[in-house]
Amino acid sequence: MYIAVKGGERAIDASRRLLSEERRGDPEVRELEVGQVEQQLGLLVDRVMSEASLYDPQLAALALKQAQGDVVEAVFLLRAYRTTLPRLGYALPVDTQRMAVTRRVSAIFKDLPGGQVLGATYDYTQRLLDFGLLRPATPPTASALPSSPQADPAALPDALSTLVQEGLVETCAPSDGDPEPSDITRTPPSYPLSRAGRLQMLARGDEGWVLGLAYSTQRGYANTHPFAGEIRLGPVPVELVPDELGCAIEIGEVELTECQMVNQFTGNADKPPHFTRGYGLCFGRSERKAMAMSLVDRVMRADEFGEDRTSPAQDQEFVLPHSDSVEASGFVQHLKLPHYVTFESELQLVRQLQSEHGRPEGAAGKNGAGEQPQ
């Protein structure tokens, strides 16, 4: 039973006012605008969109402003808003081969077919604080900016396609017995989940949790030694087929990060040795999350390849439910709500047990003073 304190309405109103003042901060400092969050904290906005399963940079930025930068709270806000939206239709599966690539790298080719596109990345920074950012910078002129790195999709084929044709990498096809993908936001997950369901939950999973599990697979908690086959990033067109038209029309685009890891498989009686895939796909510029997701996806496919499941990252009932930061946050934080009825019952039980086993040495007496040794 959870009971708010008596006369709590005024206290709650006061708490809300304090929260609003705390969010605003020093009035002498210019208020943070949603547009600034969207444009200048883009990686954070992308993470919130990915874990909330809603592609809307402006609303994700609004959620971050409202939550004072608390990612889990912002994801909660955006997911709550998502539940109020009507479902107008179902888009066709996006084709990442039509991506207008702004970044594309591969670790398995010295000369990647189509070439590598470095794009914007922290990979080549020195990881030293730039104290120059403490002062407002003068916006660069248009002529000083590098040209857009977006590459022609037709010139950037799937990096793994040649290896697939040689039979060295598994084909990109649904696994045997893989059913029609369900929507985990509408149908509660039931384990064991299909690969499509697992990928949905990993995409919504907390980045820190997924990253830690991926790291564990590299430290020996699963038999895996992956290679980054291809990582690509950029906007992808979204299409749907209206009933009135009967043909696909483009309704917009979403920015995605896709990662395909390849992992050696020693083969079995039915399949020769070859490389298998792990897959990751996230909203926005989420390279680290997509890579971690693809590592966890691969180790969860152990049953498909007759591999032993020996590590926590291979246990989907452990990995997937605990990856949801909103559910985890709610269950942990509910402990700060009133529990005095339950506690009182346990307190009485402990008192009864103590009386049955004798008062422990040094316990306080009735007057609060410790008992003196004889």
The structural domains of the chain, with segments of one domain joined by +, span 32-87, 96-120+154-173+191-329
Tell me which amino acid residue 8 is: G
Is the predicted pLDDT of residue 213 greater than 60, yes or no? yes
Tokens of 338: 């009133």
Percent of the chain surpassing pLDDT 70:
89
Is the predicted pLDDT of residue 362 greater than 80, yes or no? no
The 10s digit of each residue's pLDDT in 287-301 is 999 999 999 999 999
pLDDT of residue 69: 96
Cα 16 to Cα 14: distance, rounded to the nearest angstrom: 5
Cα 251 to Cα 239: distance, rounded to the nearest angstrom: 6
Please state whether the predicted TM-score (pTM) of the whole model is above 0.75.
yes
Q: Which residues contact 114 (CB under 8 A, 6 or more apart)?
A: 104, 151, 155, 156, 157, 159
Q: Say which residue, 249 or 223, is predicted with more confidence.
A: 249
pLDDT of residue 137: 77
Give the pLDDT mean for 237-252.
92
| C-alpha distances in Å from residue 153, one per residue of 39, 81, 98, 156, 157 | 25, 34, 5, 5, 7
Residue 149 pLDDT grade (very low, low, confident, very high; cuts 50, 70, 90): low
Which string of DSSP letters, residue by residue, matches 288-339? HHHHHHHHHHHHTTGGGGT----SGGG-HHHHTGGG-HHHHHHHHHGGGS--
Give the pLDDT mean for 239-243.
92
Residue 156, classed as helix, strand or coil, is coil
Q: Which residues contact 240 (CB under 8 A, 6 or more apart)?
A: 89, 90, 91, 92, 248, 249, 251
The 10s digit of each residue's pLDDT in 161-190 is 889 999 999 988 776 666 778 889 888 888
Nearest to 233 by CA among 127, 145, 116: 116
Nearest to 107 by CA among 287, 272, 282: 287
Residue 113 pLDDT grade (very low, low, confident, very high; cuts 50, 70, 90): confident
Which string of DSSP letters, residue by residue, matches 232-252? EEEEEEEEE--TTT-S-EEEE
Residue 374 pLDDT grade (very low, low, confident, very high; cuts 50, 70, 90): very low
The 10s digit of each residue's pLDDT in 255-272 is 999 999 999 888 877 788
pLDDT of residue 372: 45
Residue 215, classed as helix, strand or coil, is helix
Q: Which residues contact 211 (CB under 8 A, 6 or more apart)?
A: 288, 289, 292
State the residue for tokens 């529990």: 339
Tokens of 296: 């966890």
Q: What is the dihedral of CA 294, 297, 301, 302, to 10 degrees?
A: 90
Angle in degrees, CA 57, 230, 115, rounded to 5:
100
Cα 16 to Cα 35: distance, rounded to the nearest angstrom: 24
Nearest to 96 by CA among 106, 104, 88: 104
Looking at every residue in the chain, the average pLDDT score rounds to 88
Give the pLDDT mean for 42-69.
97
